[in-house]
């Protein structure tokens, strides 16, 4: 290690939360940044992606990735620039993204790391619409939801990283897009910024009635990000042969008692299909999504909103809880 190595600050998990994230669940460590070995490179992170999945990653339950262990650097997707390199495919200055963790500097051998086109879009956008959330919207809607022109697509957490894009793709494909979000300001943004045909506030006591009014022809596709009561009320409106793309269940991530679904019976009566999916299943097709999303973005058919927070790595414990209280609008990103 060089004597003049920069300081790397990183966030480690110190305790598994029983419900929501609190500052005491994390610790801040500082040490000189490691030097890359043969075949490795060092990335100086510029942005860290904050994702609802983080709550699942710190839980010791069976999942698609092993849990983050106590004392380990908190897992996170990030973007940055290669600063020092012993790897021919990742020269100094290259813009990259990968699972670099919540830290200032990451060492990598290139496994799972993607090159980013910094001229096409800012790095923060490569963590949002042109990155994992964009891929989630693209494959979840088109592969799992399969909307047809004229059908009604209902999207929950519709103003968030994934939801804002699902509605726009649904519109591109000729469907009617109905978004669900918390509060009047977010519902206004669904219409004004993200092109939804209708917006429904799930915090309004008349939510179920308003949702029904917003879907006069019933619901053909549910892009489910929330679960619980929001999902249950939407299930009551599904048409025969509806597809439910189960993307996320954020209302349940911190809940000690999950809300039972009383309207599951409509899945049976309407011969509907519920399918869960994880974006990483589609890794082999990311190039397809990236090319299409870039084209829609360049031609102005897709717009992406990022909610970029300052404060660097040390701010992670105070910023990540925003995801679970509706404190973000668009893709939540921490600037390093
Ligand atoms: N399957 C996959 O591969 C995959 C990949 C990425 C994301 N996801 C899932 O997709 C969902 C959205 O992720 P995202 O990254 O786009 O996050 P996001 O929507 O940008 O942020 C989370 C939003 O969820 C809403 N929310 C939080 N707690 C809620 C509750 N108790 N009830 C109702 N709404 C609540 C809030 O919006 P309001 O203000 O509207 O309440 C909040 O802003 C999450 O469930 C996530 O786990 C899945």
Tell me if 200 CB under 6 Å of ligand 1.
Answer: no
Q: Is the CB of 56 under 6 A from ligand 1?
A: no
Element (H, E) at 295: helix 286-298
Q: Which of 106, 124, 108, 104 is nearest to 116 (CA)?
A: 124
Residues 14-62: tens digit of each pLDDT: 999 999 999 999 999 999 999 999 999 999 999 999 999 999 999 988 9
Q: Residue 260 burial (CB < 10 Å; 0-12/13-18/19+)?
A: exposed
For the Cβ of 230 lying below 6 angstroms from any atom of ligand 1, the answer is yes
Query: Pairing mode, if any, of strands 7-13 and 26-32?
Result: antiparallel
Q: Quick one: which of 174, 187, 112 has its CA closest to 142?
A: 174
Q: Express each pLDDT in 60-88 by its tens digit.
A: 889 999 999 999 999 999 999 999 999 99
| Confidence bin at 258 (pLDDT 50/70/90) | confident
Query: What DSSP assignment string belongs to 81-128?
Result: EEEEE--TTS-TT-EEEE---SBSEEEE-STT-EE--TTTS-GGGGGT
The secondary structure of 150-192 as a DSSP string is T-EEEESSTTBTTHHHHHHHHHHTT-EEEEEESSHHHHHHHHH
pLDDT in tens, 208-233: 999 999 999 999 999 999 999 999 99
What is the Å distance from ligand 1's center to 92 Cα? 35
Cα gap 329→192, rounded to integer Å: 14
- For ligand 1, is residue 157 a contact (CB within 6 Å)? yes
pLDDT at 4: 78
Distance from residue 331's CA to the centre of ligand 1 (Å): 10
Q: How far is the CA of 262 from the centre of ligand 1 (A)?
A: 22
* Atom 27 in ligand 1: residue holding the nearest Cα: 324
For residue 179, give both structure tokens: 């978004």
Mean pLDDT of the chain: 97
């Amino acid at each position: 290690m060089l004597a003049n190595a920069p300081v790397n600050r990183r966030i480690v998990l110190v305790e598994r939360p029983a419900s929501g994230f609190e500052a005491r669940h994390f610790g801040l460590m500082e040490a000189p940044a490691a030097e890359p070995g043969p075949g490795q490179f060092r990335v100086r992170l510029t942005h860290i992606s904050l994702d609802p999945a983080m709550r699942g990653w710190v839980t010791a339950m069976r999942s698609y990735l092993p849990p983050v262990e106590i004392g380990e650097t908190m897992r996170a997707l990030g973007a940055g620039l290669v600063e020092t390199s012993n790897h021919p495919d990742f020269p100094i200055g290259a813009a990259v993204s990968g699972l670099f963790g919540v830290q200032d500097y990451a060492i990598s051998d290139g496994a799972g790391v993607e090159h980013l086109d910094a001229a096409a879009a800012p790095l923060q956008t490569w963590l949002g619409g042109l990155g994992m959330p964009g891929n989630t919207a693209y494959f979840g809607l088109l592969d799992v939801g399969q909307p047809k022109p004229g059908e009604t697509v209902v999207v929950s957490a519709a103003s968030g990283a994934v939801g804002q894009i699902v509605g726009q793709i649904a519109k591109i494909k000729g469907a009617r897009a109905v978004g669900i979000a918390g509060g009047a300001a977010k519902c206004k943004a669904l219409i004004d910024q993200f092109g939804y045909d209708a917006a429904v506030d799930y915090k309004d006591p008349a939510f179920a009635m308003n949702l029904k009014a917003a879907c006069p022809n019933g619901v053909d596709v549910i892009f489910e990000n929330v679960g619980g009561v929001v999902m249950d009320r939407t299930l009551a409106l599904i048409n025969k042969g509806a597809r439910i793309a189960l993307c996320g269940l954020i209302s349940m991530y911190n809940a000690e008692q999950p809300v039972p679904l009383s309207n599951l019976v409509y899945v049976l009566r309407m011969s509907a299909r519920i399918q869960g999916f994880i974006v990483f299943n589609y890794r082999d097709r990311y190039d397809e999504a990236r090319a299409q999303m870039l084209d829609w973005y360049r031609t102005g058919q897709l717009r992406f909103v990022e909610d970029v927070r300052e404060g660097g790595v040390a701010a992670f414990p105070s910023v990540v809880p925003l995801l679970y209280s509706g404190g973000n609008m668009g893709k939540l990103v921490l600037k390093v």
